[in-house]
Every structure is written in structure tokens, then in C-alpha cells.
Amino acid sequence: MRIARLVPAAFAAAASVVALLAPTATASVATPPPTTAPVTQPIIGGGYAQNAPWAARLFSNGRETCSATIIAPTWILTARHCVSGGGLSFRIGSLDQHSGGTVANGVQTYTHSSDLALVRLDRSVQGTYSRLGQPGSVSVGQSVQVYGWGATSQCGSEATCQSRYLKVANVTVTGGCGDAYGGSAICARRGNGITAGGDSGGPMNANGVQVGVASTSDRQTTTAYTNVTAYRSWIRSVAGV
């Protein structure tokens, strides 16, 4: 099945959200959404995340655009197609994209030929950083978790139905594939949810380590994440991790 590329400017980033992820670290800021939160299906299906101190919401010129992770005190990892608009800023370490955590601006952007980008921040942010996987960290048939603040339904303009609170979903790895730019990617089929616009740049985690960055989704059955483990040498050469 052909996977439609998500258009960043239209918040068509790809990523995910669903089944609650078991806590692996103490949440720094942000609190879970109140029980009175609107009854919408996060991502398209899935649930609200309870613990993700490494999560970062990406804003381009003040507009909520994509998802991301902080991987070192001054470094953000996200999708290449999320950074073309410029004016980048991030809210880091909060489950609520509107408050809490730490806000920092991007001052320098590095892009790979695949759908990966690294953004250097204007300040050092202390907290819990996303641990990056190595080759062999994920396998076909494995259930993995995907995170993002993206659209909660197929609502036409996905910019109008972004989730205020971070979402998480379980998806199942089906094999290798290509990302939005033909780079090495990990394909997964829908589990209890599927990624949509605004999830792009968000992480795919396997056993607590990040193995992918959201690139594309068909919003129904299949999502593709740029394979972080295949590009560890590039990430290390730029960000030192």
C-alpha cells in the first residue's frame, strides 16, 4: 500500500499515538489531562501519554506543527520535513503543549538526506533525554510505541483537530521501507491507533529506546518512521550522542 507523505505546512506530519505507555522515568513537568478533557480519539485511536519527559512540541513561527524529542541538553531530533518553515521553537518536557516544561528556540538546523533533522537550541535544557537505539534494537513483529500531538481524527484540515495533550499508541513493526525522502524507514501497521498530521517528527520507541522518527502515514493502516538506528553515525557526528 502506498503511504501518503504528510505535508508539514498543513500539519500533515506523521507520527503516532495510542495505548498508554508504561512509565519508565519520572515525569518532570506537565500533568495528565483532566478527566473532563474532550472525548476525542487521540491520534486516530490510542490514548493519552502519562510519562514522556523527553517529548518536545515543535512550533514554526508560533504555529504548532510537529512533534520531536530532546536527545541532549541543546539538541532536538525531529523530521526533516518539519523544519522547512523556519522560526522554530519547542516546548520540552510537558505533556500539555500549551503550558509547563521549558520553552527554547532553535538557532541552527542540520538536515539529513533522509527524513531526519537535528536542531540546536539557544539554551541548555536539563531533564531526561530520549535514549537512541542501535542496530538490532527493533524487530519485525514487535509491538512498539509512537507518540505525538497530532490530529485526533480525519477532520479535513488536520491543523484544526490537534491534541492538546501528548498521545501514545501501540503499532506493530512489519519490516523495512522508505521514508518521505526515500531514506531507510521502519514500517508498522495500526495497533490501537495510527498516526496523523502533526505527529511527524515524533518518536517510535522499542523497549524504552527511540528507534524511529515519524515520517509518513496513510491515516488508516500503515505508518513509516525514519530508522534512527540506521543513521546513528550521522546523529553522533552532529549532536555528539
Q: pLDDT band at 149, cuts 50/70/90?
A: very high
pLDDT digits (tens, 9 = 90+) for 96-128: 999 999 999 999 999 999 999 999 999 999 999
Domain positions in the chain: 53-129+234-239, 131-229
Distance CA 38, CA 43 (A): 13
Q: pLDDT band at 37, cuts 50/70/90?
A: very low
User: Which pLDDT score is estimated for 47?
Assistant: 86
User: Which pLDDT score is estimated for 16?
Assistant: 30
Same fold, 53-129+234-239 and 131-229: yes
pTM of the model: 0.82
Q: Is 146 helix (H, G, I), strand (E, B) or coil?
A: strand
> Under a CB-based contact definition with an 8 Å cutoff, are residues 214 and 67 in contact?
yes
User: Which pLDDT score is estimated for 45?
Assistant: 62
> Under a CB-based contact definition with an 8 Å cutoff, are residues 55 and 69 in contact?
yes
C-alpha 38: how far from chain center: 22
User: Which pLDDT score is estimated for 153?
Assistant: 72
Q: pLDDT band at 189, cuts 50/70/90?
A: very high
Q: Find which of 6-20, 36-50, 142-156, 196-210 is predicted with most confidence, using mean pLDDT.
A: 196-210
Rounded percentage of the chain residues whose pLDDT exceeds 90: 71
The CA R_g of the chain, rounded to the nearest whole Å, is 15
Biggest CA pair distance of the chain = 45
Greater model confidence, 7 or 201: 201
Average pLDDT in the chain: 83
Q: Which CATH class is domain 53-129+234-239?
A: mainly beta
Q: How far is CA 216 from CA 49, 134, 156, 180, in A?
A: 21, 22, 17, 6
User: Which pLDDT score is estimated for 46?
Assistant: 77
Q: What is the mean pLDDT of residues 22-41?
A: 31
Determine phi and psi for 230, rounding to 5 degrees.
-80, -15
User: Which pLDDT score is estimated for 162?
Assistant: 80
User: Which pLDDT score is estimated for 4?
Assistant: 34
Distance CA 54, CA 118 (A): 15
Q: pLDDT band at 158, cuts 50/70/90?
A: confident
Q: Determine if residue 101 is left, alpha or beta; phi over 0 gives left, psi from -120 to 50 gives alpha, anything else beta.
A: left
Q: Which CATH class is domain 131-229?
A: mainly beta
Determine phi and psi for 159, rounding to 5 degrees.
-70, -20
Least confident of 7-16, 48-57, 162-171: 7-16
If we measure between CA atoms, which residue out of 43, 51, 47, 150 comes closest to residue 94?
A: 51
User: Which pLDDT score is estimated for 157?
Assistant: 72
